[in-house]
Amino acid sequence: MAGVGIGLRAPLVDDLLDAPPSELRFVEVAPENYIARGGRYSADLRRVAARWPVVAHGLSMSLGGVDPLDRGYLGRLRAFLRDIGSPWHSDHLSFGVVGGVALHELCPIPFTRAAAEHVAARVREAQDLLGLPMAVENITYYATPGAEMDEGDFIGEVLRSSGCKLLLDVNNVHVNAKNHGFDALSVLSKLPLAEVVQIHIAGHDASDPELTIDTHAEAISDDVYSLLEWTLARTGPLPVLLERDDDFPPWSELCDEVRRLDGIVQRAGSLENGDERAVESSSMRDGAACRP
Amino acid sequence: MPSLSDYESHVRQLCLARAPDPRDVDALGGESWRWLRYRRMVRRRFEETLEHQFPRSFAGIGEETFGAIVERFLAASPPRSAVLRDVGGEFADFFLRATFFALPPYARDLVRLDWAERAVGYELDDDASDRIVELVMDRPAVLCRAHRLLRLVHAVHRWDSNAEAPPRAEPAALCIYRERDTHEVRVLKMSGAGMALLEEIALGERTLVDAIRTAAERSDGTLDLDFARATGALLVELTSRGLLLGSRASVSKDESP
């Protein structure tokens, strides 16, 4: 499924079905938007699933939470994943449910050994209940609760202990680097790139000098395109998902983003096949600091 | 660093309390403005979701009062659904249970109608495995899942939120349903007898002929030719709208076909 996909959002459905970019290889859905729901949403999903492979990406598992996993929901999710034929299920390295109360926000988990073990145990439990492999996504975090290790080590620990894969959001790496004064490439270099099964890419709002916000409501910035290119040059081609959740531009602009992303994925494929011209054209290949 | 459990409880408290408690901020450590951003983001998401789900209520109650009620909801009865769209149902339950002073008399009807329209839009499709046959008089009739029946005290369904005049005190019986082909949510204003018939059918207990008889009694109608004609026309219209699916294949609800 390597290639470019797009997140299915209600305002995009008609354009997607009427004039899809030829480069589009898959569609991603948030199961929470479709489980136990009929009408337009279920009809749209059927139409889309008839044309493209569909992969699921959840919001509500609260993998870092201390409340027990919601087994009722996971049962419904399992059935949904089977229906759409998703090859895996992904959710975020965050918590959002506390004492039965749902915050509907991706809140940060402390980067501690205890938290990594806790998350890994929940990922293993979720994988068993879903009957599918899972991938976890690095989130944007605006505050850092007491940390014993950096994010790369924390993610590595969760992956090693749970056996799950990584959904790498390169925009989140960029936003975190800006907000916490890191070098994004150093962060990426520490991540277990061999375990990445999918990449997310999106725009962010950098208008507030105090804090850059991961909005999914702007065009992808050149910095983030460069991070993607750097990453794919090391991983080889992967499924790359364009997330656009708000302030939707004309459809043609999103199609242009899909095409630009596809070009980067294609170059990574050429690179993997030893095409030196592709190496030359990759803007992030030069400079030792870029290498992991 | 507090335990994971304590840490998460502090985040929850900080985000949902009516005012941020400095003890939560201190316990979380680091730069307090960053944690207060989380509070702002969590609250804004709920506010925007509820404003979107309750447009008439937001307009009719007013931004300030609506916001104060949302604030009270988050503090007193915070959302438990892991699915954001279901938060509106929790909010409607809270609103209809609680006592608020200085709310206009039509506020409850606004909330009931807003949520009924949302719930109908979200409702599951009819299950193709349900055994339904052509409409007959001696079996219970079946309505589509995506409908709600509402009896209101104020005609809020006709209220234009741009108008200066508030909704009129005028009882209204409404059937809110989702069209099968377009998925659009529609509001039908029902006569007394028509509403009584829909309510009897929705109970799913009586055969159609008994439902018609009971509806006539409840609405002080006489079961004469005019009533039969009006009922027949109504059943045809409800069927054409996809609201009336047909008759249950078995006579009793529990009987296996």
Q: Is the pLDDT at A56 greater than 50, yes or no?
A: yes
pTM above 0.80, yes or no: yes
Residue A103, min C-alpha distance to chain B (Å): 6
What is the pLDDT confidence band of residue A179, given thresholds at 50, 70 and 90? very high
Take residue B179 and report the two structure tokens written for it.
């069209």
Mutation target for A interface from B11, B39, B127, B147: give the one with most A CBs within 10 A: B11
Residue B214: name the closest of B182, B205, A278 by CA: B205
Contacts of B16 in chain A (CB under 8 A): 101, 103
What is the pLDDT confidence band of residue A277, given thresholds at 50, 70 and 90? very low
Average pLDDT over residues A184-211: 96
Q: Is the pLDDT at A286 greater than 60, yes or no?
A: no
What average pLDDT values come out for chain B (257 residues) when binned by 10 residues? 94 97 94 96 98 97 95 97 96 94 93 98 88 94 97 95 90 96 96 96 95 92 88 96 92 51
Task: Tell me what pLDDT residue A283 has.
Answer: 37
- CB-nearest partner of B146 from A39, A105, A115: A39
Average pLDDT over residues A124-153: 96
Task: Tell me what pLDDT residue A285 has.
Answer: 33
For B133, phi then psi, to 5°, come to: -120, 175
Give CA torsion, residues B65, B70, B73, B76, to 10 deg.
Answer: -80
Give the long-range contacts of residues B239-243, CB within 8 A, separation 24 or more. Answer: B239/B135, B241/B177, B241/B179, B241/B186, B242/B144, B242/B177, B242/B179, B242/B180, B242/B181, B243/B143, B243/B144, B243/B147, B243/B175, B243/B177
Task: Tell me what pLDDT residue A275 has.
Answer: 52
Q: What is the ipTM of this complex?
A: 0.91
> What is the H or E stretch that residue A100 is in?
none
Contacts of A32 in chain B (CB under 8 A): 82-84
Q: Does B46 touch chain A (CB under 8 A)?
A: yes
One DSSP character per residue, B138-170 reads TS-EEE-SSEEEEEEEE-GGG--TTSSSPPPEE
Q: Is the pLDDT at A87 greater than 90, yes or no?
A: yes
Contacts of B34 in chain A (CB under 8 A): 142-143, 211
Token pair 């002073």 in the structure block, residue: B101
Task: Tell me what pLDDT residue A272 has.
Answer: 73
Helices A151-162, A113-130: crossing angle, 10 deg rounding: 40
Token pair 């915050």 in the structure block, residue: A103
Cα B68 from Cα B74, distance rounded (Å): 10
